[in-house]
Structure 1
């Protein structure tokens, strides 16, 4: 494993992954991993600012301009900060 790190360091120089990262990836490939692509994580997507959500918030605002960010978040199920960012974009 140290030989692999030495070869990477020789080829990539200062741009090489850290020794710890190389050992981690070596372990993952040894366990059967076949790609460096990121794993899909369960749960909410990384952003709620999708075209669908922007349209949904826009329609709600047109229906009732008095809705607060908290109210919009409650109706849509979108995080308050994402609603705020959508409104101020």
Structure 2
């Protein structure tokens, strides 16, 4: 049972007229090991006595908990691609997030790790995808700008120099 379920059970037994000790014994006999602590039961009974009717968490002010939005992840990724040597604190200052949130985005969402003062991808998956998106778009822009010059300068493979020594 989750914490919201515990709160509803406490409220039910409170409305039946049980004391916190009675509520604790009822919950222990009913749900056993997952029953809430006595202090939690006492706290919620006190809140219900003061007139609280909701068992849900109240809205809290301040910075929102969820900062790992796709927009934020993409913004951090673009900044890292521009400068791999940024420190986490500098990056946190740029995007106006906490240092721990930026570090979590770098390690969990972007799969990067710090290597010799540079942020590098672990498996290069995100960088490869970004590179595969950027190169064709640049080629298409150059092609639409000047078709003949683009085809004249476009290289399809690298030259290989092979030296033979006797």
**Both proteins in one fold, TM over 0.5:** yes
Matched, 1:65 2:74: no
Partner of residue 10, structure 1? 29
- 1:33-73 per-position Cα deviation (integer Å, ceiling 9, x unaligned): 222222222212234322221121122233x2245123221
How much has 1:30 moved relative to structure 2? 1.7
Instruction: Point out the structure with the larger strand share.
Output: 2
Gap regions ≥5 residues in structure 2: 1-18, 109-166
Could you tell me which residue of structure 2 aligns to residue 86 of structure 1?
105
Please give the secondary structure, in 1, of the residue aligned with 2:79: helix
Larger-Rg structure: 2
- TM-score with structure 1 setting the length: 0.74
Matched, 1:36 2:55: yes
Shift, 1:76, TM fit: 0.7
CA distance in 1, matches of 2:50, 2:96: 39
Q: Which has the higher contact order (CA 8 A, sep 6+)?
A: 1
Decide whether aligned partners of structure 1 residues 58 and 4 sit closer, same or farther in structure 2, where only a CA change above 3 A counts.
Answer: same
Cα distance in 1 between the residues matched to 2:90 and 2:63 = 20
Aligned residues: 88
User: Within the alignment, does 1:77 sit opposite 2:91 as a pair?
Assistant: no
Identify unmatched segments of 5+ residues in structure 1. Answer: none
